[in-house]
Chains A and B, each alone.
Chain A
Amino acid sequence: MSSDNRLYITDTTLRDGVQSLWGMRCSYHMQEPVMQELGEVGFDSIELPLHCGHLLVSARYFQEDPRELVKMWNDKLSNSTSNVLMAQLGTQVGPHTAVENKTVVRMVYEQFKEWLPKVSEAMYITCTQDEVERVYPYMFPLYRNMGVEPIPYMAVGHGPRHTPEFYADQVGQIAETYKPKRFVIKDVDGLMTPERLRRLYPAMRDAANGIPIELHSHGMNGLNTYNAVVGMELGLRRFTTCVPPLANGSSHVSIYDLVKNAEHMGIPHNIDIEKCKVIEERLRKAGSAFGNPVDNHHLPFDLQCYDHQIPGGVISNTRVQLEELGIPEKLEEVLEEIPRILEDLGYPVMITPFSQFIVTQAALNVELGRWEQCLDACIAFAAGVFGIEEAGVNDMNPDIKDKLLSLPQAKKILEKAAIQLDYMRSEPSEEECKEALGLSPNESRENFVLKYTLNGFEELNKCIPGGPANYKKYL
């Protein structure tokens, strides 16, 4: 049997597993005990949370310098043959902007690459046709010039327009123009069914012109392990998995289940399961010592998931955030409000950043009254900042659209939207970008990126002095 028939695995235990099940609450000493072993399992790619969200959690929540975390990743994976993949949002590199200009984007990713020289791949989440036309032309060369291969993750939506033909058309265009290393079917909300996969995968495969396709499927409907079997029956060989306890639930297929089924089907693999068990034991110990959930099982098929479409990465975050808001008891009401907002907004794909601001708007609607207070992101959405056709703006409730665009704060957002495309394509000097952030034009790129991604230096200045030796340990 040729080696091309083997499984190719992208591990996302410490990124999407943590995001789905631990609300991004994974500190230095929860990751350090497993990092070297992750590099020795035989994964083809290891996805790490090198993005502003996790950097913020590191500094703001754990008072740990995020640079120490990234340094540890680099040190522990130095001898690994696995690719290192970073989760990215393209031009949305910071916590407070929808999109950024080319210079800021380049500076941030160049700094990430300097901090983590091992990084060689970048998840490129693709939700809208606008992105392929507006942003791909410069983001692909930008990444490739720094030795990072962008991997298009095609976010699967549930609106009337999200047909197999729609995705095949996008894949065909991207394959012809950019020839990526692989495509990924990103089942962000875990609602993929075997029936849909049997139509979607062949359509995308046929359009990809030989470029392989991977399945990245969350477990909200409890079917992702079986979806992987269906995928293997169709000839799909690339999958995203997690090591328990960060698998199952709203997270990804367990590496154990995928490997067991693959072996049953006679499909070879390179995975060292015993090493996975070592990783599992250490994650269980550290996770439960902190208070993270470590008993994560397959979820039941729940029709309500098809209403709120909350992706795996958001649901655990939502519980944590509602607790911080002081209204944890309103989770169910928030879930019920979400489909009303989705309808109001024309059914955008429920993926970051949409999923977060839809959930937050739902919390505000529940607590204060429907659309009594509106997030800036909802106004920007109505203005087409996140894309027009495929984001769903054309299908919005016109009354809600009018209300959002009539708010006092809409004026500045609309002004910015009008020049959004020009701003995104602009390329000011690095000195100008630094000065715009209140820094000296001679400030280091590292300090610029730290101030930008952490929204200031306040949290960094509060980090525990003395480095990892003084950070809290859980083993």
Chain B
Amino acid sequence: MSQVDENGLVAVEASVNSVFYRQASPGEPHFVEVGDEVDEDTVVCLLEIMKCFRSVPAGVKGTVVEIIAGNEGPVNPVVA
């Protein structure tokens, strides 16, 4: 899990190059919206890695404040 930054935010990040999905499959509702309360086990997105999928839990208790990645778009690990 990422560290809490100076703004008190925790980033949920991709660990490897992936494709980001906000819902389980086309037509289904988004896992979360901005403003939703989540806990550690809440699934917040789906990542596609090498044609396979991984449901991503929030890993932290809090409120969704921003969804930066674009739906069905690529996401990459942050290089330190």
Interface residues, chain A, with chain B CB atoms under 8 Å away? 53, 95-97, 321, 324-327, 356-357, 359-361, 363-364, 367-368, 373-377, 407-409, 411-413, 435-439, 451-452, 455-456, 458
A359 touches B43 (CB 8 A): no
Interface extent on B, as a size class? 20 to 34
* A409-B57, A438-B26 known; A356 vs B16 contact (CB < 8 Å): no
B53 touches A437 (CB 8 A): no
B15 touches A96 (CB 8 A): no
* A95-B51, A377-B52, A452-B26 known; A325 vs B40 contact (CB < 8 Å): no
A314 to B79, CA, bound (A): 29
B39 to A: closest C-beta gap in Å: 9
Q: B27 interface residue, CB < 8 Å from A?
A: yes
* A326-B17, A364-B16, A412-B43 known; A437 vs B49 contact (CB < 8 Å): no
B25 touches A360 (CB 8 A): no
A408 touches B43 (CB 8 A): yes
Q: B33 interface residue, CB < 8 Å from A?
A: no
Q: How many A-B residue pairs have CB under 8 A?
A: 81
A187 to B: closest C-beta gap in Å: 23
Residues of the A chain whose Cβ atoms lie less than 8 Å from the Cβ of B40 = 408
B55 touches A409 (CB 8 A): yes
A437 touches B43 (CB 8 A): no
A327 to B76, CA, bound (A): 13
Interface residues, chain B, with chain A CB atoms under 8 Å away? 15-17, 24-28, 40-43, 49-57, 72
A374 to B17, CA, bound (A): 15
List the B residue with the shortest CB-CB distance to A362. B50
Instruction: Using A97-B25, A325-B17, A455-B26 as known contacts, list a sample of 18 further A-B pairs with CB atoms less than 8 Å apart, ordered by residue number in A.
Output: A95-B51, A325-B50, A357-B52, A360-B50, A360-B52, A367-B15, A367-B16, A373-B15, A375-B53, A375-B54, A376-B55, A377-B53, A409-B55, A409-B56, A412-B55, A438-B26, A439-B27, A451-B26
Residues of the B chain whose Cβ atoms lie less than 8 Å from the Cβ of A408 = 40-43, 57
A288 to B2, CA, bound (A): 45
A363 to B17, CA, bound (A): 12
A458 to B70, CA, bound (A): 13
Q: List 5 A-B contacts (CB under 8 A).
A: A326-B16, A356-B51, A360-B50, A375-B54, A439-B27
Residues of the A chain whose Cβ atoms lie less than 8 Å from the Cβ of B17 = 324-326
Residues of the B chain whose Cβ atoms lie less than 8 Å from the Cβ of A374 = 54
B16 touches A437 (CB 8 A): no
List the A residue with the shortest CB-CB distance to B39. A408
List the B residue with the shortest CB-CB distance to A451. B26
A409 touches B43 (CB 8 A): yes
* A373-B54, A409-B43, A409-B55 known; A325 vs B26 contact (CB < 8 Å): no
A363 to B54, CA, bound (A): 13
| Residue of B42, B50, B55, B72 touching A456 (CB-CB under 8 A) | B72
Residues of the A chain whose Cβ atoms lie less than 8 Å from the Cβ of B51 = 53, 95, 321, 356, 360
List the B residue with the shortest CB-CB distance to A455. B26
A95 to B50, CA, bound (A): 12
A368 to B13, CA, bound (A): 13
Residues of the A chain whose Cβ atoms lie less than 8 Å from the Cβ of B55 = 376, 409, 412-413
A418 to B55, CA, bound (A): 19
Residues of the A chain whose Cβ atoms lie less than 8 Å from the Cβ of B41 = 408, 411
A298 to B54, CA, bound (A): 37
A438 touches B57 (CB 8 A): no
* A409-B57, A458-B72 known; A359 vs B50 contact (CB < 8 Å): yes
B12 to A: closest C-beta gap in Å: 13
List the B residue with the shortest CB-CB distance to A377. B52
A356 to B50, CA, bound (A): 8
A397 to B: closest C-beta gap in Å: 20
Residues of the B chain whose Cβ atoms lie less than 8 Å from the Cβ of A375 = 49, 52-54
A71 to B: closest C-beta gap in Å: 24
| Residue of B26, B27, B50, B54 touching A376 (CB-CB under 8 A) | B54
Residues of the B chain whose Cβ atoms lie less than 8 Å from the Cβ of A325 = 16-17, 49-50
A408 to B28, CA, bound (A): 20
A375 to B46, CA, bound (A): 10
A324 to B51, CA, bound (A): 11
A55 to B: closest C-beta gap in Å: 13
